[in-house]
Amino acid sequence: MLLSISSSSRLQIRHRALAAGVFGLIVFAAMVAAGNAWDRSFPSTRFDTPYRDGVPDVNREWYLASEKDVLDYDVFYHGWWGTPQALRRADVLFLGNSRAMYAFRAEYFQPYLDVLGVRGYNMALPSGADAFPLAIIRKYDLHPKVVVVNSDAFFANDLTSFGAWATERSDWESWRLYYEYVASWTARKYLHLLLPPWREYLLDRRYQVMYRSASTGSVRLVVGEDDQRLMTPVSPPPISAADEATADGMVPSQLRNLQVFREEVAARGAAMVLTLVPYGDSMPLVLTRKLSAISGVPFIEEWPVGLEGAAGSHMNARSSKRFLDMLMPRLLAEPAVKVRLLGQPALSRQSSDSWSLRP
Amino acid sequence: MTFISYAYIVLFAVALLARVTIGRSSNAKPYLWVLLALSLIFYGWFRWWYLLILCGTATVDYYAAQLLVRPSLTARQRKQVLAVSMISNLGVLGFFKYTNFALGSIRAGLGYFGIAAPWQDAITITLPIGISFYTFQSMSYTIDVYRGLLTPARCFWRFLLFVSFFPHLVAGPIVRALDYLYQFDRPRRIRAVVVTEGVALIARGLFLKMVCADNIGTFLAGIPAISDGVWDKGYVRGADSATLWLWVALFSAQIYCDFAGYTDIARGSAYLLGYRLTVNFRYPYIASSFSDFWRRWHISLSSWLRDYLYRPLGGNQQGRARTYLNLFTVMLLGGLWHGAAWPFVLWGGIHGTALAVERMLGLADRARTPATTWTAALAQLCWSVPYFVVVQLVVALAWVYFRSDTIAHANMFAANLFTAPQWTLDFREPSLRLMIVLLLPVAALHLRQLAHETARFPVAAPFERAAWAAMMLYLAATVYGRANAFIYFQF
Which CATH number do you get for residue A143?
3.40.50.1110
In a domain, A260, yes or no: yes
For the segment A257-265, the average pLDDT, to the nearest whole number, is 92
> Shortest CA distance to B280 belongs to which of B201, B353, B374?
B201
The angle that helices A7-41 and B192-206 make with each other, rounded to 10 degrees, is 40
Q: What is the DSSP string of A219-287?
A: EEESS-S---EES-SSSSPP--HHHHHHHHHHHHHHHHHHHHHHHHHHHTT-EEEEE----S--HHHHH
Q: Tell me the longest C-alpha to C-alpha distance in chain B.
A: 75
Contacts of B48 in chain A (CB under 8 A): 172
- Which band of pLDDT confidence, cut at 50, 70 and 90, is reported for residue A294? very high
CB contact under 8 A, A195 and B195: no
CB contact under 8 A, A14 and B478: no
For residue B397, what is the enclosing H or E element? helix B374-403
Residue A208 confidence (pLDDT) above 90: no
| pLDDT tens-digit readout, B216-252 | 999 998 887 777 889 999 999 988 999 999 999 999 9
CA separation for the pair A243, A286 (Å, rounded): 7
> Shortest CA distance to A294 belongs to which of A309, A274, A280, A321?
A274
> Shortest CA distance to B347 belongs to which of B358, B360, B366, B334?
B334
| pLDDT tens-digit readout, A118-140 | 999 999 999 888 899 999 999 99
Please check whether residue A325 is in contact with residue A260, taking contact to mean a CB–CB distance below 8 angstroms. no
- Which band of pLDDT confidence, cut at 50, 70 and 90, is reported for residue A193? confident
Of residues B185 and A148, more confidence is placed in: A148
The alpha-carbon gap from A49 to the nearest alpha carbon of chain B, in Å, equals 13
Strand partners for A300: A275
Q: Give the one of A28, A127, A161 whose C-beta lies nearest to B473's C-beta.
A: A28
Strand, helix or coil for residue B112: helix
Alpha helices (H) in B94-211, listed in sequence order: 99-112, 131-146, 156-164, 166-169, 177-180, 192-206
Q: What is the DSSP string of A89-153?
A: H-SEEEE-SHHHHHH--HHHHHHHHHHHT--EEE---TT--SHHHHHHHHHTT---SEEEEE-TT
Please check whether residue B296 is in contact with residue B449, taking contact to mean a CB–CB distance below 8 angstroms. no
| pLDDT tens-digit readout, A149-185 | 999 889 988 888 899 999 999 999 999 989 989 988 8
CB contact under 8 A, A24 and B199: yes
Q: How far is CA A232 from CA A16, A104, A282, A300, in A?
A: 68, 17, 10, 17
In a domain, A283, yes or no: yes
Which are the contacts of A265, defined by CB distance < 8 A and separation ≥ 6?
A: A137, A147, A271, A272
pLDDT of residue B486: 67
- The radius of gyration of chain A from alpha carbons, rounded to an integer in Å, stands at 26
pLDDT of residue A352: 35
In a domain, A43, yes or no: no
Task: Give first-to-last CA distance, chain A, whole Å.
Answer: 69
CA separation for the pair A82, A91 (Å, rounded): 17
CA separation for the pair B212, A56 (Å, rounded): 31
| pLDDT tens-digit readout, A14-48 | 888 889 999 999 999 999 999 888 888 876 556 66
Q: Give the one of A161, A173, A199 whose C-beta lies nearest to B480's C-beta.
A: A199
Please check whether residue B220 is in contact with residue B244, taking contact to mean a CB–CB distance below 8 angstroms. no
Q: Give the one of B224, B466, B483 whose C-beta lies nearest to A24's C-beta.
A: B466
Q: Pick the residue from chain B with its C-alpha nearest to A163.
A: B225
Q: Apex CA A358: angle with CA A357 and CA B4, to 5°? A: 115
CA separation for the pair B441, B208 (Å, rounded): 9
> φ and ψ at B344, to 5 degrees?
-70, -40
CB within 8 Å of chain A, chain B residues 468-487: 469-471, 473-475, 477-483
Strand, helix or coil for residue B367: helix
CA separation for the pair A175, A74 (Å, rounded): 8
Give the Cβ contact number of residue A248 at 10 Å: 12
Which parts of chain B register pLDDT below 70? 26-27, 121-122, 367-368, 484-486, 488-491
Number of separate domains in chain A = 1
Alpha helices (H) in B339-373, listed in sequence order: 342-361, 363-368
CA separation for the pair A83, B331 (Å, rounded): 53
| Residue A288: exposure state from Cβ atoms within 10 A (0-12, 13-18, ≥19) | buried
CB contact under 8 A, A28 and B479: no
Query: Helix count (H) and strand count (E) of chain A?
Result: 13, 12
Q: What is the DSSP string of B254-290?
A: HHHHHHHHHHHHHHHHHHHTT-------S-GGG-SSH
pLDDT of residue B144: 94
The angle that helices B131-146 and B50-68 make with each other, rounded to 10 degrees, is 10
pLDDT of residue A359: 25
Please check whether residue B273 is in contact with residue B35, taking contact to mean a CB–CB distance below 8 angstroms. yes
For residue A17, what is the enclosing H or E element? helix A7-41
pLDDT of residue A346: 44
Q: Is the pTM of this model over 0.90?
A: no
Q: Apex CA B100: angle with CA B98 and CA B105, to 5°? A: 95
CA separation for the pair B25, B110 (Å, rounded): 62
Note down the domain range covering A326: 64-344
Residue A300 confidence (pLDDT) above 50: yes
Single-letter amino acid, residue B306:
R
Strand partners for A315: A309
- Which band of pLDDT confidence, cut at 50, 70 and 90, is reported for residue A234? confident
In a domain, A8, yes or no: no
Write out the residues of chain A at the interface with chain B, using a CB-CB cutoff of 8 A: 13-21, 23-25, 27-28, 31-32, 35, 68-70, 127, 160-162, 172-173, 176, 180, 183-184, 187, 191-192, 195-199, 202-205
Q: Give the one of A25, A172, A202 whose C-beta lies nearest to B430's C-beta.
A: A202
Contacts of A132 in chain B (CB under 8 A): none
Give the Cβ contact number of residue A296 at 10 Å: 8
Contacts of B466 in chain A (CB under 8 A): 20-21, 23-24, 27
pLDDT of residue A226: 67
For the segment A218-237, the average pLDDT, to the nearest whole number, is 77
Contacts of B5 in chain A (CB under 8 A): 180
Task: Give first-to-last CA distance, chain B, whole Å.
Answer: 15
> φ and ψ at B231, to 5 degrees?
-60, -45
In a domain, A50, yes or no: no
Contacts of B485 in chain A (CB under 8 A): none
pLDDT of residue B122: 66
CA separation for the pair A31, A13 (Å, rounded): 27
